[in-house]
């Protein structure tokens, strides 16, 4: 992925830490490169760290990290990795976005960790490639950039760069890069340093399938849940879901009561409400747009359902400081 350096053997991979960046996504991406240097006993990678203004930057867990420079300095490495966090739109991007478009035109390899794929898309640098997006932000990303093809895989690689869902996927991604550039043996030795038993391929999905997530063996129930998740914008009736399951409505209700201790209608409603909360917190969509995207015909009905379930209205939720920013 990282091209041959113009001079010497050391590849320069700069990390640009955006405000509220995810510490675990950054660490799992950077540390394999450091460990590769240690195991190979030579400096294969130089990994300077930057922030937008050159000042120490705070991660989503509240820790502050010392950096080596600002945006101007971040333009120098041949490879640049953007490290995003929970708060996608919570900082001033007036200098950042023009800078990102400029380095994109310069032909540098640009990578994006966690939510940073949002900025690649906004800068017009993700039009012709799939974007790997963390599952928690996937719905909001699709609503904001419907023209961009998204991926549920761990990471996606193109000629111009890569996107990675973050977390431990960054470790697997870097191990794959190390294997491609320096051989599998070095990658395996680096993985051993992390007590990482198996190097996952990019084609693996970022979360477990329905059966593993819910410990469900009943294929009829799994099929209905999948259909529910695929039809949040235009909810199906219980009669339609029963037909898909090949069972009666009463049998379907018994299946949901046994597995989840709730009715299928309640389960379906909660799916739609949780999706709406993601869109409220992660996008700037109008309340009526969120309502329609989650199967509600009016903002008033949607707001009542939202308040009854979450204890506040969608509008008041949006005005509150995001609790996830400190997670």
Confidence check: pLDDT of 256 > 80: yes
CA atoms within 13 A on the CB side of 70: 8
On whether both 187 and 319 belong to a single domain, the answer is no
CATH number at residue 243: 1.10.10.60
More confident position, 158 or 71: 71
Domain end position, chosen among 168, 193, 218 = 193
- Residue 207 has a pLDDT of 65
- Residue 159 has a pLDDT of 79
On whether both 283 and 221 belong to a single domain, the answer is yes
- Residue 140 has a pLDDT of 86
pTM of the model: 0.77
Q: How confident is the model at residue 324 (pLDDT cuts 50, 70, 90)?
A: very low
Within a domain: 3? no
Cα dist. 184→197, 223, 300 in Å? 14, 39, 57
The whole domain housing 164 covers 11-193
On whether both 161 and 55 belong to a single domain, the answer is yes
Confidence check: pLDDT of 205 > 90: no
Q: Indicate the average pLDDT of the chain.
A: 90
**Tally of structural domains, the chain:** 2
On whether both 176 and 294 belong to a single domain, the answer is no
Is the Cα dihedral 69, 129, 9, 6 positive or negative? Answer: negative
Which range in 213-217, 254-258, 317-321 is most confidently predicted, on average pLDDT? 254-258
First to last CA, the chain: 31
Q: How confident is the model at residue 142 (pLDDT cuts 50, 70, 90)?
A: confident
Within a domain: 225? yes
On whether both 248 and 114 belong to a single domain, the answer is no
Domain end position, chosen among 193, 221, 251 = 193
Report the pLDDT averaged over residues 313-324.
74
Name residues whose C-beta falls within 8 Å of residue 86's C-beta, 6 or more positions apart in sequence. 20, 22, 60, 115, 322, 324, 325, 327
On whether both 172 and 250 belong to a single domain, the answer is no
């Amino acid at each position: 992925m990282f091209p041959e350096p113009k001079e010497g053997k050391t590849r320069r991979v700069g990390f640009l830490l955006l405000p509220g960046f995810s510490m675990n996504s950054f660490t799992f991406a950077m540390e394999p490169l450091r460990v590769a240097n240690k195991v190979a006993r030579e400096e294969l990678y130089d990994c300077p760290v930057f922030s937008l203004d050159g000042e120490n930057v705070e991660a989503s867990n509240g820790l502050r990290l010392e950096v080596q420079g600002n945006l101007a300095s971040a333009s120098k490495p041949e490879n640049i990795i953007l490290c995003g966090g929970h708060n996608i739109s919570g900082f001033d991007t007036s200098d950042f976005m023009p800078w990102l478009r400029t380095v994109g035109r310069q032909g540098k390899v640009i990578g994006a960790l966690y939510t940073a794929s949002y900025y690649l898309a906004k800068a017009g640098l993700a039009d012709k490639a799939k974007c790997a997006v963390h599952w928690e932000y996937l719905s909001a990303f699709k609503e904001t950039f419907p023209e961009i093809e998204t991926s549920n895989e761990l990471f996606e690689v193109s000629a111009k760069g890569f996107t990675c869902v973050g977390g431990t996927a960054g470790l697997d991604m870097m191990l794959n890069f190390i294997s491609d550039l320096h051989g599998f043996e070095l990658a395996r030795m680096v993985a051993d340093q992390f007590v990482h038993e198996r190097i996952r391929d990019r084609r693996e999905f970022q979360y477990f399938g329905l059966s593993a997530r819910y410990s469900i063996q009943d294929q009829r129930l799994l099929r209905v849940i999948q259909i529910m998740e695929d039809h949040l914008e235009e909810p199906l009736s219980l009669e339609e879901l029963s037909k898909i399951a090949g069972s009666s409505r009463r049998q379907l209700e018994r299946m949901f009561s046994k597995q989840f201790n709730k009715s299928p209608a309640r389960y379906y409603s909660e799916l739609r409400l949780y999706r709406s909360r993601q869109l409220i917190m992660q996008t700037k969509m109008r309340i009526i747009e969120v309502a329609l995207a989650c199967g509600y015909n009016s903002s008033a009905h949607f707001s009542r359902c939202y308040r009854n379930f979450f204890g506040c209205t969608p509008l008041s939720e949006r005005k509150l400081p995001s609790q996830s920013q400190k997670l």
